[in-house]
Amino acid sequence: MSSSRYQAVIFDLDGVITDTAHYHYLAWKRLAEAQGVPFDLAFNENLKGIDRMGSLDLILASSAKRYTAAEKLALADEKNLHYQELIATMSAGDLLPGAVAALDTVRAAGMKIGLASVSKNAFTVLERLGITDKFDYVVDAALIARGKPDPEIFLKAARELGVAPADCLGVEDAVASVASIKAAGMVALGIGQADVLTQADVVIPSLAQFDLNAY
Ligand code: BG6
Ligand code: MG
């Protein structure tokens, strides 16, 4: 058994367990080009952890055109169809290094495992990666009213797992997402760079460095 102080670990999906950011980038880029608004990899960084409609608003903010709610929904649907085409070929080979080992370490330590992704495609991606059964609870993003950095999604995961937020470790790769963990009253493990994820309690480069007893 582990000597870790947590009862549950709640993981983000995109950028932590698998790198879907590139597929989101390609799908948003096609949309931005069709709408005549600038879009590049640097801008894509701002979209990490941000839900679909929030991302669309950020992309269209530089357009002179005013979009109706119906037009925005149609654009978001179009982007999502393209994204779904791109992720259709994903497989276990798209798991990031250390991801499965981290999940298995948490399981072996007797802790609960949750997934808190704002992606409405999370269930599909988990299936493609072949890791659905490794989670005790996966938040359905369609049931979440407020995206990250609001704490709602992490609080929902903790509640469904039956664990107090203070006994949870949250694992995230984006600034807005780390803010969500902290607002939920959890310890935040950042995946990425310490000078970017400044709100995280600890930052490691990837799950390949995951050590449950170190946080
Ligand atoms: C997050 C990604 O996990 O999910 C964002 O970091 C993405 O880039 C968001 O916009 C929503 O995803 P989806 O699949 O519901 O469009
Ligand atoms: Mg992420």
- Enumerate the active-site residues: 12, 14
Long-range contacts of 144-147 (CB under 8 A, 24+ apart): 144/118, 147/50, 147/51, 147/54, 147/118
Tell me whether residue 54 is in a domain.
yes
> Looking at the structure, do residues 80 and 117 belong to the same domain, yes or no?
no
Task: Give the end of a domain, one of 34, 68, 87.
Answer: 87
Question: What CATH number should be reported for the domain holding residue 46?
Answer: 1.10.150.240
| Cα 172 to ligand 2 centre (Å) | 6
| Cα 176 to ligand 2 centre (Å) | 9
| Cα 21 to ligand 2 centre (Å) | 8
> Looking at the structure, do residues 80 and 165 belong to the same domain, yes or no?
no
Q: How many domains, in total, are found in the chain?
A: 2
**Ligand 1 binding pocket, CB closer than 6 Å:** 14, 24, 47-52, 55, 80, 117-121, 141
96: containing domain: 8-18+92-214
Contact between 202 and 189 (Cβ < 8 Å): yes
Which residue from 52, 79, 96 has its CB within 8 A of the most atoms of ligand 1, so it is best to mutate?
A: 52
Per-residue pLDDT of the chain (215 residues; tens, 9 = 90+): 445 789 999 999 999 999 999 999 999 999 999 999 999 999 998 899 999 999 999 999 999 999 999 999 999 999 999 999 999 999 999 999 999 999 999 999 999 999 999 999 999 999 999 999 999 999 999 999 999 999 999 999 999 999 999 999 999 999 999 999 999 999 999 999 999 999 999 999 999 999 999 98
Nearest CA among 112, 180, 190 for reference residue 147: 180
| Separation of alpha carbons 152 and 176, rounded Å | 13
